[in-house]
Copies of this chain bind each other. A is one copy, B any other.
Amino acid sequence: MGVAVEKLDIKKYLREKQKIVVQALDELMLPAEGVFADHIRAMRYSLFAGGKRVRPILCLAAGTAVSDDGGVEQSLLPVACALECIHTYSLIHDDLPAMDNDDLRRGNPTCHKKFGEAEAILAGDGLLTYAFDLLSNPAHGRGLPDTSRLAIIHTIARAAGSPGMVGGQALDMAAEGRKIEFDHLRTIHRSKTGALITASVLAGALGGGADESQLAAMRRFGDSVGLAFQIVDDLLDVISTTEELGKPAGSDEAQHKATYPAFFGVENTRQLAEQAVAESLAALERFDHRADPLRALARYIVDRTR
């Protein structure tokens, strides 16, 4: 396994898959024309504002890891795009004045700075709803049985909703400016960021026809990767420059946000990230070489801090 991971050029893999995802998003997203053109333009602005496309790529890689069908990636593209729509909507709403009040996202004006607050709320609502449109669209149903599609929809809705991402953002808002325990920080991370990452992996695995024991392993993988991802994000906020991040570095500290480095210091936090990645790799032990992209993705996440 170790050898195969070394062989896979993760940066090249990411570039390839990002290109595939962006192209699919462009094809599958509503065109900015007709009576709703202005509204759709605001959605497309945020959807194509860059981003690593981590969730769609995790979804595609998880599908590939459990399936012998060469067409699984193609079948999963609408699912991958739906995940990116949900992630993008969450960024738009999180950036709103009533929430984190951020003016910049990936170096560009945030959606409400560009289009106004009402349009940004609606762009978010539109992207969230369109995710479920994509997931249920009969035109995109080729290759995935109805039962799998329903399971994918439910997995994503649960993770993106009040028991997951939305609830996590509510906890995060409520915790602002307050001193919180580490356990509570973990709950916020798990729900706000972790749930949708795990759902991305599970959605891919479900689309690839994973059995119960594979799904359980994929859930462990997703949970650990999500944790690693969040720890690294906290870390990057401390150790990066504003230019590298595309948003003000050190903003967590300036806002007195509870973070891993604030609890444990930078070096211990780095070790915790390594540990989370190791756990994610352990969850994939019984998978063969087809899971190598997933393994490389997990390693890549923690390597971003070097």
**A residues engaging B (CB < 8 A)?**
30, 35-36, 38-40, 43, 93, 96, 98-99, 116-119, 121-122, 124-126, 128-130, 132-133, 135-138, 141, 146-147, 149-151, 153-154, 157-158, 160-163, 166-167, 169-171, 173-174, 187, 191
Contacts and interface: CB of A to CB of B under 8 A. Distances in A.
Contact of A36 (B133, B151, B171): B171
Nearest to A126: B162
Contacts of A147: 146
Given A30-B163, A119-B170, A128 B125 contact: yes
Number of copies of this protein chain within its complex: 2
Contacts of A130: 157, 161-162
Given A38-B170, A137-B154, A128 B129 contact: yes
Contact of A138 (B125, B146, B154, B167): B154
A121 B96 contact: yes
Given A122-B166, A151-B138, A117 B98 contact: yes
Main secondary structure of the interface of A (DSSP, over half): helix
Contacts of A146: 146-147, 149-150
Contact of A129 (B35, B99, B166): B166
A167 B36 contact: yes
Given A122-B170, A130-B161, 15 more contacts: A36-B167, A36-B191, A40-B162, A40-B167, A96-B121, A118-B170, A122-B173, A126-B161, A126-B167, A126-B170, A132-B153, A135-B153, A137-B154, A138-B150, A146-B149
A141 to B, nearest CB: 8
A299 B36 CA distance: 32
25 contacts: A35-B171, A35-B187, A36-B167, A36-B170, A36-B171, A36-B191, A39-B167, A40-B162, A43-B162, A93-B122, A96-B121, A98-B117, A98-B118, A119-B170, A126-B161, A129-B157, A129-B161, A129-B162, A129-B166, A132-B153, A133-B154, A133-B157, A138-B154, A146-B146, A146-B147
Given A30-B162, A138-B150, A162-B39, A98 B126 contact: no
A98 B125 contact: no
Nearest to A151: B138
A274 to B, nearest CB: 28
